[in-house]
Amino acid sequence: MAMTRERTATPWWTSLILGIGLLFYFIGERLGGESESLHDFLAGLGLGLVAMVVATRAYAVMRTTGARRRVERTLLVAHLGTVLAIVIYYANKWTTFAKDSHAPGVLMVVFALLVVVSIVPVIVVELSLGPSMRGSFDLSRSADDDVDVEFRRVKEMAWNGLSIAFALGFLMVTCKVASDRNIQSDVSYFKTSSVGESTQNIIDNSGEPIRVLLFFPPVNEVKAQVRTYFDSIAGGAGKIIVEEHDRELEAGLSVQYKVQKDGAIVLVRGTGDKEKSQTIEIDTDIDKARKSSGKLRNLDKEVNANLRKLLRDKRKAYLVSGHGELTSPESMTPENKARFADRKTLAFKKVIGDANYETKDLGLIDLAVGVPDDATIVLLMAPTTPLLAPEWDALTRYLDRGGRLMIVLDPTAVPSMGPLEGRLGLRYNPATLTDDRLHVQMYGNLRDRHLPVTNQFSSHASTTGLSRTIDKGLLMIDSGTLEDVPFTVKGEQPKKTITVRSVESSYLDFNDDFAFSEGGLKPEKKQRYNLAAAVEGPKVAGKDGFRALVFSDVDWFSDFKIPDPRGISATLISGPMLRDALDWLGGEEVFAGDTASEDDKPIQHTKGQDAVWFTITIIGMPLVVLTLGLFGTWFRRRRPAAKTEVKS
């Protein structure tokens, strides 16, 4: 019997031409704003190809019969969906809607949905047809049955493709709804676009509005992050005005505020001759801006520091020097230099500078005469050689006239506060605070017990940020403690508040053996010990009295080095405590609070922990995978054997 062959109605490349036509059309629409002639050419070419394919497919439906017609009809319906999508696109483009209408957005979603549900089934159907419907047929072998079976497979694949298309379309609808209902909630540790409590407090207590001038390119990811950050402040306080400016189009404004490149944030306060401004420069590349060297990760800290400079004049913080203090290492004896060679104060001085303080040394001769009148704060940072009597007298006179003093002590330094002990009602005990239960494992031996941790903070302005940001506690390194003693001043007594205490499992290791001992000449006792105190004197002649802060561990304010791949070399283990201390001493406790940061918290492990994790990841997990694989293979091999035994 002779074989009859019949050609397929439409070849496979018909659908390919449709795809090329749509590609030309969309390219023309995207580039149409740059050249009208280019738009007309590409869009016209694309529409022409689409129309040609639809007409060809319609002709194929009319000239075929049976299962083959049903296949062609399925493809034609999909192509008509594409045509309908283009019609909706033009309707949305040429129709004028009300300003607050949601119709444009709805039509764009319908357009995108129709395009997807029309194209995806065509792709799936064309792939399912393969060469069987694209070449020729042998009608001598029950061709109609074969074609009918083929159509059922095509129909199945078409429905599967439609399901995929609707799933993609649902994502488009979800994205549109999320865009229109843009509710932001920062639940992660990273806080690029959130405002910290301290910054919000500064804005709330500003006497006049602050303008924020953003000099960024028109479309920029960094600008979007920065704008979101400042909008959150404006929404809370209502005292911030955010403006976006083009550096090149507004050259006069750029010159006025000395903006020489994009990525400038200018904070402006006041008008006319009283106007003051501060500028923050940030990289406009989102990847560079979010690196540790960029400022987007710590935008709130940058804004906080510049707002402080904007709202008040620079103050002076005098550092007592000449006695081997932490801040005066050049005055240490050779023996102490060898002991404290690693103690640096880069992070300490940066916090003071960010608080808009100018630091000056207060040496032996100057201090003996008296504390200068322009001193806002005086800091005595763990002297390793004793102060002279005239120097203590000068500090006492400074407190009598309402001065602000911060004293930091350490067991390795001079443990005495001289006559200030009775003035402040505190005495220093240099015995090392120890904890055999709650401590940081840094060395992997008993020495770790001299690294206790506490989370016992009072509700005082000098510990506001500390109690909110250090959720795992405050670390102490070979710390001493503070003891209460009677006040020696006459008249109204100062107000003393213990701001930081140890936990109940801590004790003083009098014999430095890292072990708790209740016997001996000095029995050791587990209890809460005082670690920091704030003392506020009574008012004098209607003015506020003195303020003093005393701390028992100088390591809280020395650089604490943390290995980090981003290059962060030093920080303060006391977190925001120094910043809050400066705010309280300077009478700016309303500014106290935490600042938001996107820096990752370092994860630290001991050598033993690292060894455990290494063993689990390198040996343990492969063993688990191997065991599961062997069990799966054994189970599959057992099943046929079991069935054979049943049959027999």
Q: What is the 3-state secondary structure (H, E, C) of 504-566?
A: CCCEEECCCCCCCCCCCCCCCCCCCCEEEEEEECCCECCECCCEEEEECCHHHHCCECCCCCC
- CB of 256 within 8 A of CB of 236? no
- CB of 333 within 8 A of CB of 385? yes
Question: How many percent of the chain have pLDDT more than 90?
Answer: 25
Q: Which of 278-292, 389-403, 440-454 has the lowest mean pLDDT?
A: 278-292
> Is 218 inside any structural domain?
yes
Tokens of 150: 């083929």
Residue 636 confidence (pLDDT) above 90: no
Residue 591 confidence (pLDDT) above 80: no
Query: Is residue 205 located within the same domain as residue 168?
Result: no
Q: How many alpha carbons lie under 13 Å from residue 581 in its C-beta half-sphere?
A: 30
Q: Are strands 264-269 and 276-281 parallel, antiparallel or unpaired?
A: antiparallel
Query: Is residue 555 located within the same domain as residue 641?
Result: no
Q: Are strands 240-245 and 210-215 parallel, antiparallel or unpaired?
A: parallel
When comparing pLDDT for 94 and 622, which is higher? 94
The pLDDT value recorded for residue 399 is: 94
Q: Which of 126-135, 260-269, 409-418, 513-522 has the lowest mean pLDDT?
A: 126-135
pLDDT band per the 50, 70, 90 thresholds, residue 446:
confident
Query: Is residue 398 located within the same domain as residue 485?
Result: yes
pLDDT in tens, 128-177: 665 445 444 343 334 444 444 356 666 666 666 666 656 655 665 566 56
**Sign of the Cα pseudo-torsion (440, 595, 560, 335, in order):** negative
> Is 384 inside any structural domain?
yes
Residue 30 confidence (pLDDT) above 60: yes
CA angle 23, 165, 175 (to 5 degrees): 85
The pLDDT value recorded for residue 166 is: 62
Angstrom distance (rounded) from CA 570 to CA 228? 30
> Is 589 inside any structural domain?
yes
> Is 519 inside any structural domain?
no
Q: In the predicted model, what is the mean pLDDT of residues 198-221?
A: 85
Tokens of 248: 């090149």
Q: In the predicted model, what is the mean pLDDT of residues 266-288?
A: 87
Tell me the sheet residues that pair with 210.
240, 269
State the DSSP code for 571: B
Rg of the chain's alpha carbons, rounded to an integer?
Answer: 38
The pLDDT value recorded for residue 622 is: 58
Buried b / exposed e over 474-501, threshold 16 CB at 10 Å, is: bbbbbbbbbeeeebebeeeebebebbbb
Residue 333 confidence (pLDDT) above 90: no
| CA-closest candidate to residue 49, choices 76, 87, 22, 85 | 22
Query: Is residue 85 located within the same domain as residue 225?
Result: no
Query: Is residue 247 located within the same domain as residue 334?
Result: no
Residue 380 confidence (pLDDT) above 90: yes
Tokens of 276: 């003051």
Q: Of 289, 320, 349, which residue constitutes the final position of a domain?
A: 289
- CB of 378 within 8 A of CB of 398? yes
Angstrom distance (rounded) from CA 214 to CA 223? 8
- CB of 21 within 8 A of CB of 50? yes
Query: Is residue 250 located within the same domain as residue 325?
Result: no
Q: In the predicted model, what is the mean pLDDT of residues 562-584?
A: 74
Overall size of the chain counted in residues: 648
Query: Is residue 565 located within the same domain as residue 643?
Result: no
Total structural domains within the chain: 4
The dihedral over CA atoms of 466, 471, 477, 483, expressed in degrees to the nearest 10, equals 60
Q: Which residues contact 18 (CB under 8 A, 6 or more apart)?
A: 49, 50, 53, 79, 82, 122
Angstrom distance (rounded) from CA 190 to CA 197? 15
| CA-closest candidate to residue 241, choices 219, 217, 212 | 212
- Give the range with max mean pLDDT: 21-25, 345-349, 564-568: 345-349
Q: What is the CATH number of the domain that holds 357?
A: 3.40.50
Q: State the DSSP H helix or E strand holding residue 396, giving kind and residue range, or none if neither.
A: helix 389-400
> Is 187 inside any structural domain?
no
| CA-closest candidate to residue 585, choices 318, 306, 365 | 318
Q: How many alpha carbons lie under 13 Å from residue 1 in its C-beta half-sphere?
A: 7
- CB of 378 within 8 A of CB of 371? yes
> Is 614 inside any structural domain?
yes
State the DSSP code for 443: S
Range of the domain at 243: 197-289
- At 292, the amino acid letter reads S
Angstrom distance (rounded) from CA 38 to CA 274? 54
Residue 503 confidence (pLDDT) above 50: yes
- Give the range with max mean pLDDT: 20-34, 70-84, 113-127, 592-606: 70-84
- At 119, the amino acid letter reads I
Query: Is residue 536 located within the same domain as residue 409?
Result: yes
Q: Which residues contact 28 (CB under 8 A, 6 or more apart)?
A: 38, 39, 40, 41, 42, 43, 44, 45, 46
Query: Is residue 19 located within the same domain as residue 134?
Result: yes
The pLDDT value recorded for residue 341 is: 62
| CA-closest candidate to residue 333, choices 269, 219, 413 | 413
Query: Is residue 205 located within the same domain as residue 275?
Result: yes
The pLDDT value recorded for residue 483 is: 95
Angstrom distance (rounded) from CA 256 to CA 258? 6
Q: Name the pTM for this structure.
A: 0.59
The pLDDT value recorded for residue 158 is: 63
Q: What is the CATH number of the domain that holds 259?
A: 3.40.30.10
When comparing pLDDT for 327 and 593, which is higher? 327
Residue 613 confidence (pLDDT) above 90: no
> Is 235 inside any structural domain?
yes
Angstrom distance (rounded) from CA 107 to CA 408? 68
Q: In the predicted model, what is the mean pLDDT of residues 363-381?
A: 92
Q: Mean of the per-residue pLDDT values for the chain?
A: 78
- CB of 384 within 8 A of CB of 523? no
Integer angstrom CA distances of residue 419 from 395, 427, 563 = 10, 10, 42
Q: Strand, coil or helix: what is 465?
A: helix
Q: Are strands 432-434 and 456-457 parallel, antiparallel or unpaired?
A: unpaired
Residue bearing tokens 């201090």: 367
> Is 7 inside any structural domain?
no
Buried b / exposed e over 532-566, threshold 16 CB at 10 Å, is: bbbbebeeeeeeebbbbbbbbbbbbbbbbeeeeee
- CB of 216 within 8 A of CB of 230? no
Query: Is residue 376 located within the same domain as residue 488?
Result: yes
Neighbours of 397 (CB within 10 A): 12
pLDDT band per the 50, 70, 90 thresholds, residue 271:
confident
Query: What's the burial of 24, exposed, middle or buried (CB within 10 Å: 0-12/13-18/19+)?
Result: buried
Angstrom distance (rounded) from CA 187 to CA 190? 8
Query: Is residue 357 located within the same domain as residue 256?
Result: no
**Sign of the Cα pseudo-torsion (318, 322, 325, 331, in order):** positive
Tokens of 97: 């809607």
The pLDDT value recorded for residue 596 is: 62
pLDDT in tens, 521-568: 778 899 999 999 999 999 887 788 999 999 999 999 988 776 554 444
